[in-house]
């Protein structure tokens, strides 16, 4: 484990932020959707959210809506929520179950097989003629892969695999002991934030603000203490960033509201791990916070240039959930911290609209991870 003195690496420097228009310009936002969001792996949810055949949840990303569902064979597939007949939404609910795993359009009842996306029936339409055959009509599908219980999707049909993009398992080695595949959701929440999506990831990329706006979190993990980074031998990838560990203050046993232990730590952790919380960021839109007795995840979804939906998940040892151990301490610390973060992002969104912010602001060395994120966005925007 490497500790960086002073909180930032030698290459960190002063440099400009994103420009003001990049937080409010519709055309730039459209380009970001095409260049970044339609081409990268996105954290759609957890496999356990859809345990039974036909279970589904939907995802909104700007104008696109997707259905992620458990198919007839027990796989997880994702489709654009668009009927091939005349383009109706196939389902309007955020979650639900499609009987026997068939997707039936509410408009004229075209019915699709969720395993293949193929049209199975179209009432009163002559079938298998020269002009029209059900076997030739499929829902538009989205690449879907599972990893450690997470569902990942990519709308680019030519995208490299998840393992290749994230350099799994090498880049994931430090976190295997959290056994995330087997953890279960104890709580979920969604937050609507009136800010451009980049501000949320920028905010997550620095703890410069922690002492100011997170009194609860800072009490347990003081931002002034040195952060420990993952060893350099563990690769960071274009999208997967090891943000390191923050140590608990002496006298605090857990990262929660009062620092007291309400659950056992995960069984494979060392004493050192038990006194820390690890953070990993996955660009463009998610982060995973690994405490010794729970994991908190946030995934951001742009709804418009100035509005972002955040999905939060709290994962626990299934035995702790089954035995009814309390989880509110963990839920509260990240609920209150998240709301503090979203309020700050909204302050920044308001200020960034001003004519005096047209040429942007100043990133300092302590914002070096914000600078990394900016570079990721710029690299993607330049991709052909």
User: Which parts of this chain interact with ligand FES (CB under 6 A)?
Assistant: 83, 85-86, 88, 105, 107-108, 110
Pairing of strands 102-104, 95-97: unpaired
Q: Tell me which stretch binds Fe ion (CB under 5 A): 121-129, 135-143, 256-264, 333-341.
A: 333-341
Q: Which of residues 13 and 86 has its CB atom nearest to ligand FES in the complex?
A: 86
Q: Reply yes or no: is the peptide bond before residue 196 cis, omega within 30 of 0.
A: no
- CB 207 to Fe ion: min, Å: 7
Q: Nearest residue to Fe ion, using CB?
A: 341
Closest among 108, 115, 117 to 140, alpha carbons compared: 117
Closest among 44, 95, 50 to 72, alpha carbons compared: 50
* Dihedrals phi, psi of 237, to nearest 5 degrees: -115, -175
Q: Which of residues 114 and 306 has its CB atom nearest to ligand FES in the complex?
A: 114
d(CA 252, CA 260): 7
- CB 117 to ligand FES: min, Å: 14
Q: Which of residues 339 and 375 has its CB atom nearest to Fe ion in the complex?
A: 339
Q: Which of residues 68 and 289 has its CB atom nearest to Fe ion in the complex?
A: 289
| Cβ-based neighbour number of residue 102 at 10 Å | 16
Q: Which of residues 148 and 341 has its CB atom nearest to Fe ion in the complex?
A: 341
- With CB under 5 to 8 Å by kind, the binding choice for 22 among ligand FES, Fe ion, none is none
Residues 6 or more apart whose CB falls under 8 angstroms from that of 37 comprise 61, 62, 155, 284, 302
- CB 214 to Fe ion: min, Å: 5
Tell which one of 341, 348, 368, 371 touches Fe ion (CB under 5 A).
341
Q: Which of residues 86 and 194 has its CB atom nearest to ligand FES in the complex?
A: 86
Task: Give all strands of the β-sheet with 286-290 in edge-to-edge order.
Answer: 2-3, 228-229, 240-247, 276-282, 286-290, 295-304, 307-316, 184-193
- CB 78 to ligand FES: min, Å: 19
- CB 304 to ligand FES: min, Å: 26
- With CB under 5 to 8 Å by kind, the binding choice for 378 among ligand FES, Fe ion, none is none
Is the C-alpha dihedral spanning 181, 187, 192, 196 positive or negative? Answer: negative
Identify the H or E element spanning 313. Answer: strand 307-316
- With CB under 5 to 8 Å by kind, the binding choice for 85 among ligand FES, Fe ion, none is ligand FES
Q: Which of residues 76 and 139 has its CB atom nearest to ligand FES in the complex?
A: 139
Pairing of strands 228-229, 2-3: antiparallel
- CB 154 to ligand FES: min, Å: 26
Q: Show the beta-strand stretches assigned E in 150-285.
A: 150-154, 184-193, 228-229, 240-247, 276-282
- With CB under 5 to 8 Å by kind, the binding choice for 341 among ligand FES, Fe ion, none is Fe ion
- With CB under 5 to 8 Å by kind, the binding choice for 105 among ligand FES, Fe ion, none is ligand FES
Q: Tell me which stretch binds Fe ion (CB under 5 A): 23-31, 234-242, 308-316, 336-344.
A: 336-344
Under DSSP, the state recorded for 162 is H
- CB 103 to Fe ion: min, Å: 39
- CB 311 to Fe ion: min, Å: 17
Contact indicator for 310, 200 with CB cutoff of 8 Å: yes
| Contact footprint for Fe ion (CB under 5 A) | 341
């Amino acid at each position: 484990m490497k500790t960086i003195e002073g909180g930032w690496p030698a290459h960190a420097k002063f440099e400009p932020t994103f420009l003001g228009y990049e937080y409010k310009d519709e055309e730039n936002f459209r380009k970001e959707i095409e260049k970044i969001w339609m081409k990268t792996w996105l954290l759609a949810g957890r496999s356990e959210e859809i345990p039974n055949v036909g279970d589904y949840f939907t995802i909104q990303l700007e104008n696109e809506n997707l259905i992620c569902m458990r198919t007839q064979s027990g796989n997880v597939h994702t489709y654009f929520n668009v009927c091939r007949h005349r383009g109706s939404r196939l389902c309007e609910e955020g979650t639900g179950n499609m009987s026997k795993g068939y997707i039936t359009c509410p408009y004229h009842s075209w019915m699709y097989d969720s395993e293949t996306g193929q049209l199975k029936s179209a009432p009163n339409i002559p079938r298998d003629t020269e002009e029209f055959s059900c076997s030739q009509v499929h829902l538009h599908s989205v690449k879907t892969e599972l990893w450690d219980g997470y569902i990942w999707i990519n709308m680019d049909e030519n995208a490299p695999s998840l393992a290749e993009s994230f350099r799994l398992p090498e880049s994931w080695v430090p976190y295997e002991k959290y056994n995330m595949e087997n953890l279960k959701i104890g709580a979920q929440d969604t937050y609507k934030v009136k800010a451009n999506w980049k501000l949320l990831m920028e905010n997550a990329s620095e703890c410069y603000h922690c002492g100011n706006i997170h009194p609860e979190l800072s009490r347990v993990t003081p931002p002034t203490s040195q952060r420990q980074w993952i060893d350099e031998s563990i690769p960071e990838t274009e999208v997967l960033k090891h943000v390191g560990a923050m140590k608990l203050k002496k006298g605090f046993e857990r990262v929660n509201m009062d620092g007291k232990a309400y659950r056992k730590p995960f069984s494979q952790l060392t004493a050192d791990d038990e006194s820390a919380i690890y953070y990993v960021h996955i660009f463009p839109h998610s982060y995973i916070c690994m405490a010794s007795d729970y994991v908190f995840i946030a995934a951001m979804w742009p709804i418009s240039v100035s509005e972002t939906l955040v999905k939060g998940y709290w994962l626990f040892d299934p035995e702790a959930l089954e035995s009814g151990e309390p989880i509110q301490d963990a839920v509260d610390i990240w609920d209150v911290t998240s709301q503090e973060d979203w309020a700050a992002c909204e302050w920044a969104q308001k200020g960034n609209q001003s004519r005096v912010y047209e040429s942007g602001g100043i990133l300092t060395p302590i914002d070096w991870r914000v600078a990394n994120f900016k570079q990721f966005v710029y690299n993607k925007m330049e991709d052909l």
